[in-house]
Chains A and B, each alone.
Chain A
Amino acid sequence: MLRREDARFLEGRGRFIGDIDIPGMLDVAFLRSPLAHARIASIDTPVDADGRVFTAADLSDVKLVPPASKVPGHRIVAAPPLALDRTRYVGEIIAACIAPTRAEAEDLVETLAPDFEMLPVIASMDDALSDDGTRLYDDWDNNVSMETGFDSGIDEIIANAPVKVTRVLDMARQAMVPLEGKGVLAYWSERDDQLVVYSSTQSPHQIRTALCEALGLQQRQIRVIAPDVGGGFGYKAILHPEEIIVAALAMKTGRPLRWLEDRFEHLTAGANAREHRYEMTAYADDRGRVLAIDAKLTTDGGAYSVWPHTNGFDAIQASGILTGPYDIGGYRVKTQTVVTNKPPLSPYRAVARPGACFAIECTMDAVARAVGRDPAEVRIDNLVKAEAMPYKAITGKEYDSGDYPACLLRAMEMVAEGPKTPAPGRLLGTGYAIYTEHTAVSTSTISHIGIPMMPGFEQAAALMQPDGSLELRVGVQSHGQGMETTMAQIASQVLGIEPDRVVLRHGDTGLSPFSTGTYASRAIVMTGGAVAAACDKIAVKLREIAAHLMQCEPSNVHLEDGQLRGPTATMTIAEAAETWHFRPYELPEDVLRDGLEVTGGYRPDGDKGPFAYAAHAATVSVDPELGTVELLDYVAVDDCGTRVNPMIVDGQVLGGVVQGIGTGLFEESPFDDQGQPLATTFADYSLPTAAETPIIRLDHSETQSPYTRFGVKGVGEGGAIAPPAAVVNAINDALRPLGAELCAVPATPKRVLGAIFDAQDRAIADLEVSK
């Protein structure tokens, strides 16, 4: 079935924040800190700027919204929406200016004269951990916000393992770059006694909760509406300071206010994803069977903790999955989340998994090299076998189902059929990466971390209309997932009505039951399950109506293909619905007192999230003189259980892979030693485009999850997980004749040449030693 939402997007008929015009609306522009670390001595505002320029002093009645954490010793600092007396990253908001147009609001920003006293800058993880005494927070004894650890007991393995391989692997900081930037529009509605907030968000109810806390309003007093949202990727799953400021100022000024993020703001103040460093040591036998992993992970958490995830979400996630899809008996890990003068670290598609996959998969290749075996074969030996499912990993995660070796073998088979002839002077290489992903994270997974994003039973409302058409209302928000299509398919599956007779209302707290929103590859599992549960309830009611009309027991009425079939008669769903709504006199007085509008709830059996998985393979051509990398072939074989809509699954995987290729080859938000962002436009921030992307070849298997309705598993994030690892393993395969090995992404020409230079220097040094 084709995506139902595509026509309006392709024909420019979508309705995004930027398309909404409220009479009397004003635009907001922000004065943002030009310095990474400074005390704000004063801000001079023009005398006639009263009521048009606002600083922290004007929002003194707005409460901070700090996220919570159950991690012992986790130090959390919430960003004030407007900086108080100190700014801690370039782009932090100092003042808000309002004017009839954005350009005029920016003119107003330029009239402000802030006076700063510069403070020493912590521009990197190394700065944060150095002993020079520089602190981001004066009352902290160091710059470490969170430390965690786990040790299964590996000393004995370490003592006896014949092979030890150590690598330091770096993943750069990135921006998430949704096609549509962040945006928010707010106004007070007298009639509804309600603040109406349009936000480009993945999680309307979550944002409502945070805004209520900040503004001291009851939940009934705020309605958050996410209209069409042009990509979220996690950037729109967090509370943004701009949401609080625009909402607060809309109430204060009584005017509809709007802020639309531009690319400059996004690439600087929104440079907030990834940036992990892994120190990985693998202990293995002489065939490359990995016996234990000993790892240290450092993440650059930026200046503040985002709500609700905190700055520690990446480290917790990565350390919880670092042994990957492998059967590894020993695991020890330490994590450190440091604070720096950078934008706050936020969850980005697949959160920490691309980093964790990059770390374990590059380490796996290094192990294979150390024992002189093919990396794919070493992987096969180490993977959890199908017969071991469900498998309890050393991290405590339960992998529910699947055949990981078969998945990798299929990827190997496919990539072997791909291009294999390099241009003259180029080096060819093939690399693999395989992962397993806990999708639709469960209540228990989040509750032990304790952050205020707590998925419980997901809810869906199903409102059967008098003509038998169906309106579904869900609290998640569809911003590329195609839920307007898939949820209709699920309703159709349960009730047998045509998907064309079903509509999905989503992303509006005023319409739908509560939800924590769209994230963690959860909607098809959780909301799909809830829609099915609601439709189950409708089915019971329809059979009850039919039973009365057919003079039989409801248990003798069967709902098949949209028809209610009794022993002697058949009627349509529409007839049953029409009877209840328009001809109640045909039904006994006590039938269906509660009507045909229901709410259904869902959570997987045993509160277990299903594990999707995939194997990727890449073939690259490397120019060893220039360090340029051309991606010649890319293969992804995934298993997300039952595919509700195969074309949408393909779209999710393809989009994810291209984003992962961005992480692997192009995307990077570098900062100089004064914390100044160096990639401020698309001229410096490189995104993959069609020209850099080969035809991505896909295949799928479908191992149904034993725990979920229809056996589905999530697929929204998966594509982005493996590419950095697959691409770098392919590059290292190509660089093998030169003795060079790359351990960082993105694999820019400068980094690839750097790895080659290092190999050349080592060779020269070795030569001199041998002389």
Chain B
Amino acid sequence: MKAPALEFHRPDTVGAAVAILADGGGAARVLAGGQSLVPMLNLRVAFAETLVDIGAIRELATIEDIGDHIRLGACISHARIEDGGADSHCSGMLRHVARNIAYRAVRNRGTVGGSLAHADPAADWPVAMIALGADVEVSGTNGNRKLPVEEFMMDVFTTALQEDEILTGICVPKASPDLRWSFHKMRKKAGAFGEAIAAAVQDPESGFCRVVAGSSAIGGPQRFAMLEKALQEGAVDDDTIRDALTGALGSLGRYETQIHTVCLRRAMEEVRT
């Protein structure tokens, strides 16, 4: 399958990119690493009259310390994080997540921002970033705004981005050195999308605690307040997890319930012990 002809732009500023996007209306799309969008264009299940390649915008390719947050430019590749690009933060969690995404060839090009903006329900970064309490920065015709990843991820393949907006950065709160985290992904084989993903994060210093799961089966990332409370209270059992899953998602199949329960329990136990 080959994509139909399209217009291609490679601006070097966010402003120029936003202008092209605004110009294109709904028919313009942002191209980051292209690891999802390009195959979808080729398969003709996604369409674009105009592609705005944001790979040449320098400010999107930096990792910065901005006080109480670390800011990852939207175009930081998974490989850069896997290779230690943000290693001093979050006790290695970012690196762990990055190195287990797909295959190295995909990680070389695929980006953190692209993953969040694409909002594949089985993607890793949405789960990880919600678990870490990260925010996204967005630029559009009407200026810049910042919102929690949790609010940014609206539904399956749906985010809070407007047609003329670009996700420019991800701000991950700095954690204490005592941060405890666990990220469990169950998949059919190395490189495959997770059938069930679970993340648990607990920072004893700040009292921050999050438990998040994600997968196609559960329709993307989900936070479980009930499990966060249970984790803080030190009580983790399968019945509670199953109740939390049912409470949040209604009835799941036996297989889906089992794998999400086990991943959540393993993540929570790892953080607790």
Q: State the A residues within 8 Å of B (CB).
A: 101-103, 106-107, 110, 262, 264, 625-628, 666, 681, 683, 686, 688-689, 691-692, 748-750, 753-754, 757
Query: A626-B258, A686-B192, A754-B255 given. 17 additional CB < 8 A pairs?
Result: A102-B2, A103-B3, A107-B4, A110-B4, A110-B44, A626-B262, A627-B259, A681-B43, A686-B189, A689-B190, A691-B190, A691-B191, A748-B188, A749-B186, A749-B195, A753-B255, A753-B258
User: Which residues from A are CB-within-8-Å of B2?
Assistant: 101-103, 106
> CB distance A692 to B44 under 8 Å?
no
Contacting residue for A106 out of B44, B188, B189, B254, CB 8 A: B44
26 A-B pairs with C-beta separation under 8 A: A101-B2, A103-B3, A103-B4, A103-B5, A106-B1, A106-B4, A107-B5, A110-B44, A625-B258, A628-B186, A628-B188, A681-B39, A681-B43, A686-B188, A686-B189, A689-B189, A691-B189, A692-B189, A692-B190, A748-B188, A749-B188, A750-B255, A753-B255, A753-B258, A753-B259, A757-B254
> CB distance B188 to A683 under 8 Å?
no
Docked complex Cα distance between A251 and B98 (Å):
53
Docked complex Cα distance between A102 and B3 (Å):
9
Q: Which residue on B lies nearest to A107, using beta carbons?
A: B4
Docked complex Cα distance between A750 and B44 (Å):
31
**Smallest CB separation, B177 vs chain A (Å):** 28
Q: Which residue on A lies nearest to B253, using beta carbons?
A: A750
Contacting residue for A688 out of B189, B254, B255, CB 8 A: B189
Q: Which residue on B lies nearest to A748, using beta carbons?
A: B188
User: Which residues from B are CB-within-8-Å of A627?
Assistant: 259
**Smallest CB separation, A621 vs chain B (Å):** 14
Docked complex Cα distance between A625 and B192 (Å):
19
Docked complex Cα distance between A101 and B3 (Å):
11
Q: Does B193 have its Cβ within 8 Å of any Cβ on chain A?
A: yes
User: Which residues from A are CB-within-8-Å of B1?
Assistant: 106, 262, 264
Q: State the B residues within 8 Å of A (CB).
A: 1-5, 39, 43-44, 186, 188-193, 195, 254-255, 258-259, 262-263
User: Which residues from A are CB-within-8-Å of B262?
Assistant: 625-626
Q: Which residue on B lies nearest to A625, using beta carbons?
A: B262
Docked complex Cα distance between A688 and B188 (Å):
10
Chain B interface secondary structure, helix, strand, loop or mixed? loop
User: Which residues from B are CB-within-8-Å of A107?
Assistant: 4-5
Q: Which residue on B lies nearest to A691, using beta carbons?
A: B190
User: Which residues from B are CB-within-8-Å of A628?
Assistant: 186, 188
Docked complex Cα distance between A173 and B250 (Å):
33
Docked complex Cα distance between A753 and B260 (Å):
13
Docked complex Cα distance between A106 and B192 (Å):
29
> CB distance B43 to A666 under 8 Å?
no
Docked complex Cα distance between A102 and B5 (Å):
11
User: Which residues from A are CB-within-8-Å of B43?
Assistant: 264, 681
Docked complex Cα distance between A748 and B259 (Å):
13
User: Which residues from B are CB-within-8-Å of A689?
Assistant: 189-191
User: Which residues from A are CB-within-8-Å of B192?
Assistant: 683, 686
Docked complex Cα distance between A504 and B159 (Å):
59
10 A-B pairs closest in CB distance: A691-B190, A103-B2, A625-B262, A102-B2, A692-B189, A626-B186, A750-B255, A686-B188, A264-B1, A262-B1
**Smallest CB separation, A407 vs chain B (Å):** 30
Docked complex Cα distance between A628 and B259 (Å):
10
Q: Which residue on B lies nearest to A105, using beta carbons?
A: B2
Docked complex Cα distance between A688 and B192 (Å):
11
If the complex has contacts A106-B1, A749-B195, are A666 and B188 also in contact, measured as CB distance less than 8 A?
Answer: yes
> CB distance B191 to A749 under 8 Å?
no
Docked complex Cα distance between A627 and B2 (Å):
38
User: Which residues from A are CB-within-8-Å of B190?
Assistant: 689, 691-692
User: Which residues from B are CB-within-8-Å of A262?
Assistant: 1
User: Which residues from B are CB-within-8-Å of A750?
Assistant: 255
**Smallest CB separation, B46 vs chain A (Å):** 13
Q: Which residue on A lies nearest to B102, using beta carbons?
A: A683
**Smallest CB separation, A27 vs chain B (Å):** 9
Q: Which residue on A lies nearest to B103, using beta carbons?
A: A689
**Smallest CB separation, B250 vs chain A (Å):** 20
User: Which residues from A are CB-within-8-Å of B259?
Assistant: 626-627, 749, 753
User: Which residues from B are CB-within-8-Å of A749?
Assistant: 186, 188, 195, 255, 259
> Which of B1, B5, B263 counts the most chain A CB atoms within 10 A?
B1
> CB distance B255 to A666 under 8 Å?
no
Q: Which residue on B lies nearest to A683, using beta carbons?
A: B193
Docked complex Cα distance between A227 and B88 (Å):
54
Q: Which residue on A lies nearest to B184, using beta carbons?
A: A626
Q: Which residue on A lies nearest to B193, using beta carbons?
A: A683
Docked complex Cα distance between A692 and B191 (Å):
10
Docked complex Cα distance between A691 and B103 (Å):
10
User: Which residues from B are CB-within-8-Å of A748?
Assistant: 188
Q: Which residue on A lies nearest to B266, using beta carbons?
A: A625
User: Which residues from A are CB-within-8-Å of B195?
Assistant: 749
Docked complex Cα distance between A626 and B215 (Å):
15
Docked complex Cα distance between A757 and B259 (Å):
13
**Smallest CB separation, A92 vs chain B (Å):** 17
Docked complex Cα distance between A427 and B195 (Å):
21
Docked complex Cα distance between A666 and B193 (Å):
14
> Which of B4, B5, B189, B255 counts the most chain A CB atoms within 10 A?
B189
Docked complex Cα distance between A397 and B211 (Å):
62
Docked complex Cα distance between A686 and B189 (Å):
8
> Which of A625, A686, A692, A757 counts the most chain B CB atoms within 10 A?
A625
**Smallest CB separation, B145 vs chain A (Å):** 33
Docked complex Cα distance between A103 and B259 (Å):
41
User: Which residues from A are CB-within-8-Å of B189?
Assistant: 666, 686, 688-689, 691-692
Docked complex Cα distance between A626 and B184 (Å):
12
User: Which residues from B are CB-within-8-Å of A757?
Assistant: 254-255
> Which of B188, B255, B262, B263 counts the most chain A CB atoms within 10 A?
B188
**Smallest CB separation, B247 vs chain A (Å):** 22
**Smallest CB separation, B31 vs chain A (Å):** 17
Q: Which residue on A lies nearest to B5, using beta carbons?
A: A103
